[in-house]
Structure 1
Amino acid sequence: MTALVRHRLFWPAAVLLLLLAANVAFTPGFLSIEMKDGHLYGSLIDIFRFGAPLILVAIGMTLVIATGGIDLSVGSVVAISGALACLHISGLPDQNDVGGVLTAVGLALGLALVLGAWNGFLVAGIGIQPIIATLIIMVAGRGLAQLITDGQIVTVNSASYKLIGGGYWLTLPFSILIVLAVLALTAFLTRRLALGLLVESIGGNATASRLAGIRSRGLTVAVYAFCALCAGIAGLMISSNVSSADGNNAGLWIELDAILAVVIGGTSLMGGRFSLGGTVLGALVIQTLTTTIYSIGIPPETTLLFKALVVTVVCLVQSPAFREKVFQRRGRRRPAAPQATDDEKVEVPA
């Protein structure tokens, strides 16, 4: 039992089950899933569907944090990707043209890759601190997204584009299938190949990994580019789900939720070892928490405060040092100091 409690995924899983139980208490049919018109519906399906963009961004953020870095620009990349795709589709003679939609998707993801590679170049090539290097795109990228949309909300009416974030395939939301594909590919590259070990070595000791012959700079650029690619896909999901692009609000603060998901999943912000399964679990905790807040009727003005308190409790309970200080046995008594024997007693002269 002790080994189970000490597992890195125990507490996130326990909190997730607790949140689901709270929802069941307020909504008895919360866990029910039903089939309608060949599609699966239910609150659990909605958690996965609405949490798909966060899971994608968190997967990319996991690899960046594993290298000892951080990416604050993912929210802006989300906005840029959705804005560019919707702008291109809105100018098509036929918005349902599959070729035109694929071109829009390619342009959006290509720009996301360029932005991610730029972040990696600033970090690995020039040596700028990751939090500063990515802060540039975080600020300027949001302005670029509004420049693309001309400060307006660009709406589209494309069934082909709607499939990405709001469509269904094989009874499941298509966004869930995209997440599963990206997760499977990432897990294969990092756990079945040596790529994951190389990423962890950079985060553990970048200098030692470079001296060992690892091309840390190129790998770091690739990791930041992959993170931006995940954010670009998330931007396509968000914009296609609502059939519009909002350069000002799309992906706002998703970078903070992604970082929290990574931390809840047990990956250290110092870099090194990472857990993709823990990250997915952490993202589901955050999305379930958001669903719980709305389902139990917490006032909207206190939503962020409630969310911050719950995440803080999860992180504290997950900390071995905190648990040792708080949950240690209070019945323990310190051993009494040994008494001196008659031979050891020293007479003090008057």
Structure 2
Amino acid sequence: MTRFLRHRLFWPVAILVALLALNLVFTDNFFRVQMKDGHLYGSLIDIVRFGAPLILVSLGMTLVIATSGIDLSVGSVVAIAGALACLRISDLDDQNSIGGVLAAVGIALALSVALGVWNGLLVAGIGIQPIIATLILMVAGRGLAQLITDGQITTVNSSPYKLIGGGYWLTLPFSIIIVAVVLALTAFLTRRLALGLLIESVGGNAEASRLSGISARGVLITVYTFCALCAGIAGLMISSNVSSADGNNAGLWIELDAILAVVIGGTSLAGGRFSLGGTVLGALIIQTLTTTIYSIGVPPETTLLFKALVVTIVCLLQSPAFREKVFHRRRRPQSPSPVTEEKVRVSA
């Protein structure tokens, strides 16, 4: 039992279950999932659907943090990808053209990849600290997104584009299917191939990895590119769900939620080992927490404080040192038994 309690995913799972149970108290039929018009509906489905962009961004952030880095530019990449895709679609004569929508999506993702390579080159090629390198794109990227939209909210009316974030396929929201595919590919590449070991090696000791023949620069560029790609897909989801692009507010502060999700999932900010499953749990906890805040009627002006409080509690419960101090008492020294005292007396 103690071994089970010490598992790094125990407390995230326990907190998620507690939040879901709390919602059940305030919301009738919270766990009910029903079929309407061939689509699955329910509060649980909505949590995963609305949390899909955060899960994607968090997956990319996990690999970056595993290399002892950080990416603060994901929110700007989210805004840029959504803005560029919506701009291209709004210029189409037929916004329902599948070919035109695919071209717009491809251009947006290509730019996201280019931005990720840019971050990787700044970090691995020039040697700029990750927090500074990505902070540059965080600031400049938000301005670029507003330039693309000309400071206005760009709206589209495209059924194929709506599918990405707001449509359904095989009874499930299409965004959930995208997340499942990306998660499966990420797990395969990092757990079935050597890429995961290379990432952990670079995060543990980049210099030792270089001396052992590992191309640390290549690994760093790869993870920053992947992180930007995940952010680009998330940007398409967000803009698709509302059929518009807002260069100023789209993806705002999502980088902070992604970092929190990674930390809640048990990945150390110091780099090294990482947990994709833990990251998904962390993202679901944050999205469930947002749903819980609205369910129990927390005043909007205290929402961020309430959210910060819960996240702090989760992080403290995950800390072995904190649990040792709070939940474990010091063992009292056992008094020697009469038999032991007799043996000591005889030997003396």
TM-score range, shorter chain: over 0.9
| Shift, 1:45, TM fit | 0.2
Shift of 1:223: 0.6
Match of 1:346 in 2: none
Paired residue type of 1:125:
G
Question: 1-side partners of 2:28 and 2:237: how far apart?
Answer: 30
Alpha-carbon shift at residue 326 of structure 1 (Å): 1.3
In the TM superposition, structure 1's runs of 4+ consecutive aligned residues that sit over 2 Å from their partners are: 330-335
Relative to structure 1, the CA distance from residue 334 to residue 137 in structure 2 (aligned partners, 3 Å threshold; closer, same or farther) is: farther
Distance 1:132 1:268 in 2: 20
Q: TM-score w.r.t. structure 2 length? A: 0.95
The residue aligned with 2:304 is 304
Q: Which residue matches 1:165?
A: 165
Q: Which residue of 2 aligns with 1:185?
A: 185
| 1:287 equivalent in structure 2 | 287
Whether 2:273 is the aligned partner of 1:273: answer yes
Structure 1: runs of 5+ lacking an equivalent: 336-350
Give distance in 1, aligned partners of 2:173 and 2:229.
21
Deviations 1:198-236 (A, max 9, x none): 000000000000000001101110110000000000000
For the residues of structure 2 that align with 1:136 and 1:309, how far apart are their CA atoms? 30
Give the TM-score normalised by the residue count of structure 1.
0.95
Aligned equivalents of 1:235, 1:333: Cα separation in 2: 59
Distance 2:202 2:28 in 1: 48
Distance in 2 (CA, whole Å) between partners of 1:117 and 1:324 is 43
Q: Which residue of structure 1 aligns with residue 19 of structure 2?
A: 19
Counterpart AA for 1:126:
I
Give distance in 1, aligned partners of 2:139 and 2:214.
32
Deviates more, 1:214-223 or 1:40-49: 214-223
Aligned residue in 1 for 2:10: 10
- The residue type equivalent to 1:317 in the other structure is L
Find the aligned partners of 2:143 and 2:239 in 1 and give their Cα distance: 17
Write out per-residue CA displacement over residues 239-263 of structure 1, whole angstroms, 9 at most, x where no aligned residue.
Answer: 0000000000000000000000000
Identical columns (%): 81
Q: Distance in 1 between matches of 2:307 and 2:212?
A: 43
Q: How many angstroms does 1:43 deviate by?
A: 0.2
Q: Deviation digits for residues 71-120 of structure 1, max 9, x if unmatched?
A: 00000000000000000000000000000000100110000001111001
Q: In the alignment, which residue of structure 2 is the partner of 1:96?
A: 96
CA distance in 1, matches of 2:45, 2:328: 40
Per-residue Cα deviation, 1:303-349 (whole angstroms, up to 9, x for no partner): 000000000000001000111111121563699xxxxxxxxxxxxxx
Amino acid at match of 1:184: A
Q: Please give the secondary structure, in 2, of the residue aligned with 1:110.
A: helix
**Match of 2:47?**
47
In 1, Cα distance between equivalents of 2:258 and 2:89: 29
Distance (Å, rounded) in 1 between the aligned partners of 2:156 and 2:333? 70
* Distance of 2:153 and 2:17 partners within structure 1: 38
Partner Cα distance (2:334, 2:135) in 1: 51
| Distance in 2 separating the partners of 1:311 and 1:142 | 27
Q: 1:215-226 residue pairs with structure 2 within 5 A?
A: 215-226=215-226
Partner residue of 2:240? 240
Give the SS at the match of 1:34. strand
